A and B are shown apart, each in its own frame.
Chain A
Amino acid sequence: MSGTDDSKAQAGDLVPSRRTVLFMGAAAASTVVTIRPALAQTAGSVLNCEIPVPGPHAAGNHIAADGSLVAPGTPGAAPPLARPLRGEEARVLLRGSTPPGVNPQSAQAYANYIRRLQSGMSGFTCYASLQMPR
């Protein structure tokens, strides 16, 4: 490639300013590499990302039905989850169902906690990824 003008001529125009030698490649060689769309590529990682409930900033707190953080022992509050939710489990929760291993009576509180996540909080990126159209 000798310069910008040549690049433009090869990329778009069919009438180069001078005749260019075009390399056609061998029949068996490949000249196209397709990059998978970013969303398709992240589909697997979205399902495997994690959301701690609650996050480290609120370790030990319980979760009220509306998703807010409350002190342990608060009536009706759900205890912290023993392990972070995986992306797929969070997706199930946000749809109103209960993933295996989660107390159904606490599911709504956990779902609301996830909905309250904001940028910078642990699990927010995972939650945001779940919102993206696929």
Chain B
Amino acid sequence: MAAPRYIADPEGALACVALDGLSVLFHAPSGMTHIVAPPAPEILAALREGPADVAELLARLQAHYDFEDEIGNDVVAARLDELEQAGLVRRA
């Protein structure tokens, strides 16, 4: 079975305010407001480049960021799961 691919809404659908390490996101399509910690905003930005599965998303993040520890797909999948539950990303 192919790995699920995820996509995020375009930047215009989100109003984002950075607050000292956290970000407040207003997701206009759902009318929901979320308080998110890193790496949620970074994942959303990476997914705006286009749909990606877990491995591809991790590669995109690694292209731009360093990580404190070695990051496994399970951590990225966990982040995507919670973003999907919040309605901020969806399966492509």
Contact = CB atoms under 8 A, between A and B. Distances in A.
Interface of A: 1, 7-8, 10-16, 19-28, 30-37
Nearest to B74: A27
B31 interface: yes
A12 B75 contact: no
Contacts of B60: 14
Interface of B: 11, 16-18, 20-21, 23, 31-42, 45-46, 49, 60-61, 64-69, 71, 74-79, 82-83, 85-86, 88
B34 A35 contact: yes
B41 A12 contact: yes
Given A10-B38, A10-B41, A32-B35, 7 more contacts: A12-B11, A14-B49, A14-B60, A20-B66, A24-B75, A32-B36, A36-B32
Say whether chain B's binding surface is mostly helix, strand, loop, or mixed: mixed
Main secondary structure of the interface of A (DSSP, over half): loop
A14 B45 contact: yes
Nearest to A36: B32
Given A12-B41, A14-B49, A33-B35, A22 B20 contact: no
A124 B33 CA distance: 28
B39 A23 contact: yes
Which of A8, A10, A21, A34 has the most chain B CB within a 10 Å cutoff?
A34
